[in-house]
Structure 1
């Protein structure tokens, strides 16, 4: 799998061969949401592909003011793939955003920021390639309802796999009684695993849009799944996350269900993570490999981990960017919030895949989640890692003991740092600690980003009473 076209000439030939009627332009905002606008194929020329498609940037959250709203979408032609869900043949092009006022890639375009991160690694002589392999978990639900008003708030989620449905009287079917239960979803066969055919359909469509699929399986929580795809370069991997989320959501939708990558939709069960495998390369050589060391890790790899851990509280503003993210990072649900590394222990924030050879040696950061914008998350981790290499940072570890069994006092006694406990904490850390992100992340972008997250996520969340607060406080 991979590219369907390599250049503009092949693009037009491919469109003609597939009777393409529409060209769909996709770009990503700072939340990680995909946006699109659609051109008739007859209106797309070589000139506009090379010069850019105009659009209004003022209507995108935290982007341009109304008096400087004109922007361009620069199509990355080799990203082209046919949309598997449209009624008429439609080809999708992933785009970068171009700032016509400064004559450069837009400083708030996440994809452009990730490109700058790779260019920075090359410019300082460390690496000419960076490979990322995200593992995105998701939930498939049968129904979701939520309300958020001045006098009421609440949500209700349902899945046939939910343990709460063990005594449900179904009108159109009998109650099968086969359910994974809380934390019981890892690897049971049908009928307990009710999503086999749904995941299979997702896997086939993911291959159809250019991803190389390895496996699919039920995850630990009820209604939870994961599909494994082959790693790519930093830009391709982030592009693939956007494709992955699009396909998973659409397949669920077309089957009368709903998919979410929300980090913690179910209280008391495991949440959705996005474990991210990473390695740096130069001249075709894996810079993270050194045979015979712990986990076959080179000194550079150790320093890379050290840099991410040193800046983890600020990095979390990009890798765990929602208030819900920190409900996942609680002890007891396989969500690693303790900043150490291990070659075998999945409770560490960084796992070193066991027994990896020269080409496969890598570090796996386990704290990120899929509410993040993948371009920003990958770029922030990479910039922190590069800073660690520069300053020869040494992380706490390795630690192969069961970290979930440690008390908070033991964690503190051992001097193991932790992830922040709230989004406010991560954003306040970003305000204090952001030099490592420069010059890839501009001062203006960092300021706008933290303001946006405070105003959209932190303050509204902190100002709302919750059902649990009524349960514990109403009678006081």
Structure 2
């Protein structure tokens, strides 16, 4: 995103006839929130004087300490292209602060900023390229979401088979207008399923871009009479929605994951980072896969990973190393789904990778074969462990992982408590109830 000064924002608001500003932030569980103000309040907003009642936000502060302030990141100022072009609407993404001016420890964006400070102190920068999948479903006569789709297209198909092509195009163009680079968009494997890949950016910008993409997809789908959902597994017998995350560490513009002398062109740093991800993948699974429904996606046969493995090209592995080398060398983590809180997930992934670097861990031998064709006995004989099979298992693994807990800070316990309540609630409800709730929320 283009960087802005206070004066430039004030000038743009006047020149572009902006009348409404959305002060956006993300709660602990990954829901995008906002306070809307008119342009007359812009000076107060830029001064960080817009307040919110934090006690009414799930996972935030207690009622006796409810006052909080929104401090906007000026670099995130953008006009929303899907809103009216007369009396335009802009947004700024905010950090949540305490009344004394200190960053709120339970703000996911602040959690990621703190994690990134650690890597910056090492002279490194984390770049992230996310790939988000979603379904476009029809709505019923009353406008409620369904799991029906009019298209019968498959992987990389195009119109007229692909009925969501125009919506996907509108989303990509809207994001580009907001300064968010779109690398590719296409129809995915299942009927009604789509993918948009964002150009890599620094980790904080990438997390912001993920939240903006999800808002754009849902808004423009609704405008076109469709319902978009990022629910991990809305259909029992179809592929689920993943959010593959491409990670790389740079130093002074040089990709530190690349080593031309290595037979696989992977540096020792990259291998240690991979080892750290594998070491803590069970611990951050409850962040990367935060719903009861997430674990219905992570089953064999649908290109979702189940085992703690890595490979140079094997798409059944948890971690894949795409063929690109040089500045494009990267680690693709395939377990996260798009309902995750990207700020917390990236903070935990970074902590895991850095732990591998600090401890000089070595990854296990890579697995070239199709893991879906291997029996449990064969996997066990190779010492291959599984990812958690339920949200409850993932929460227990998270509690037992001090690296992940430390990365989240003092609000880790509140995240676990909230997700455990969700697990208890969902497991006593019929699947249709869960489906309806997830379709609408995610």
Alignment partner for residue 408 of structure 2, among 431, 435, 441? 441
Contact 2:347/2:408 (<8 A) preserved: no
Does the C-alpha gap of structure 1 residues 60 and 218 become closer, same or farther in structure 2, counting only changes over 3 Å? same
Q: Which residue is equivalent to 2:77?
A: 80
Contact 2:352/2:403 (<8 A) preserved: no
**C-alpha separation between the residues in 2 aligned to 1:295 and 1:250?**
43
Contact 1:387/1:436 (<8 A) preserved: no
Give the paired residue count.
429
Helix, strand or coil at the partner of 1:158: coil
Does the C-alpha gap of structure 1 residues 466 and 190 become closer, same or farther in structure 2, counting only changes over 3 Å? closer
Alignment partner for residue 221 of structure 2, among 247, 252, 255? 252
Q: Which residue is equivalent to 2:96?
A: 97
Contact 1:202/1:248 (<8 A) preserved: yes
Give the aligned CA root-mean-square deviation in angstroms: 1.9
Q: Which residue is equivalent to 1:65?
A: 62
Q: Which residue is equivalent to 2:125?
A: 129
Q: Which residue is equivalent to 1:172?
A: none
How far residue 48 of structure 1 moved from its aligned partner, in angstroms, is 4.3
Q: Report the TM-score when normalising by structure 1.
A: 0.87
How far residue 191 of structure 1 moved from its aligned partner, in angstroms, is 2.4
**C-alpha separation between the residues in 2 aligned to 1:187 and 1:282?**
35
Q: Which residue is equivalent to 1:414?
A: 382
Helix, strand or coil at the partner of 1:384: helix
1:405 matched to 2:403? no
**C-alpha separation between the residues in 2 aligned to 1:51 and 1:222?**
45
How far residue 450 of structure 1 moved from its aligned partner, in angstroms, is 0.3
Describe how 1:289-304 pairs up with structure 2 within 5 A.
289-304=258-273
**C-alpha separation between the residues in 2 aligned to 1:294 and 1:239?**
36
Instruction: Extract structure 1 runs of 4+ deviating beyond 4 A.
Output: none
How far residue 283 of structure 1 moved from its aligned partner, in angstroms, is 2.5
Q: Which residue is equivalent to 1:453?
A: 419
Once the two structures are superposed, residues 123-173 of structure 1 have per-residue CA deviations (whole angstroms, 9 ceiling, x without a partner) of 3x2x43110111000000002799xxxxxxxx9521113xxxxxxxxxxxx
Does the C-alpha gap of structure 1 residues 465 and 196 become closer, same or farther in structure 2, counting only changes over 3 Å? closer
Contact 1:262/1:371 (<8 A) preserved: yes
Contact 2:82/2:174 (<8 A) preserved: no
How far residue 368 of structure 1 moved from its aligned partner, in angstroms, is 0.5
Q: Which residue is equivalent to 2:435?
A: none
Once the two structures are superposed, residues 49-102 of structure 1 have per-residue CA deviations (whole angstroms, 9 ceiling, x without a partner) of 13442111111001111111000100001100001233331110000001225x
Contact 2:286/2:391 (<8 A) preserved: yes
Give the number of the structure whose alpha-carbon radius of gyration is greater.
1
**C-alpha separation between the residues in 1 aligned to 2:202 and 2:141?**
38
Once the two structures are superposed, residues 301-338 of structure 1 have per-residue CA deviations (whole angstroms, 9 ceiling, x without a partner) of 11111111111111101111111111010001010122
Give unmatched runs, 5+ long, in structure 1. 147-154, 162-178, 468-476
Describe how 1:126-205 pairs up with structure 2 within 5 A.
127-143=123-139, 157-161=147-151, 179-180=152-153, 185-205=154-174
How far residue 446 of structure 1 moved from its aligned partner, in angstroms, is 1.1
Q: Report the TM-score when normalising by structure 2.
A: 0.93
How far residue 454 of structure 1 moved from its aligned partner, in angstroms, is 0.4
Contact 2:18/2:90 (<8 A) preserved: yes
How far residue 384 of structure 1 moved from its aligned partner, in angstroms, is 0.7
**C-alpha separation between the residues in 1 aligned to 2:80 and 2:319?**
36
Alignment partner for residue 359 of structure 1, among 323, 327, 342? 327
Q: Which residue is equivalent to 2:438?
A: none
How far residue 466 of structure 1 moved from its aligned partner, in angstroms, is 4.5
Q: Which residue is equivalent to 1:116?
A: 114
Describe how 1:4-43 pairs up with structure 2 within 5 A.
5-43=3-41
Helix, strand or coil at the partner of 2:58: coil
Does the C-alpha gap of structure 1 residues 301 and 437 become closer, same or farther in structure 2, counting only changes over 3 Å? farther
Helix, strand or coil at the partner of 1:427: helix
Contact 1:29/1:60 (<8 A) preserved: yes
Helix, strand or coil at the partner of 1:58: helix
Describe how 1:234-273 pairs up with structure 2 within 5 A.
234-273=203-242
**C-alpha separation between the residues in 2 aligned to 1:70 and 1:16?**
31
Does the C-alpha gap of structure 1 residues 373 and 282 become closer, same or farther in structure 2, counting only changes over 3 Å? same
Q: Which residue is equivalent to 1:332?
A: 301
Does the C-alpha gap of structure 1 residues 381 and 128 become closer, same or farther in structure 2, counting only changes over 3 Å? same
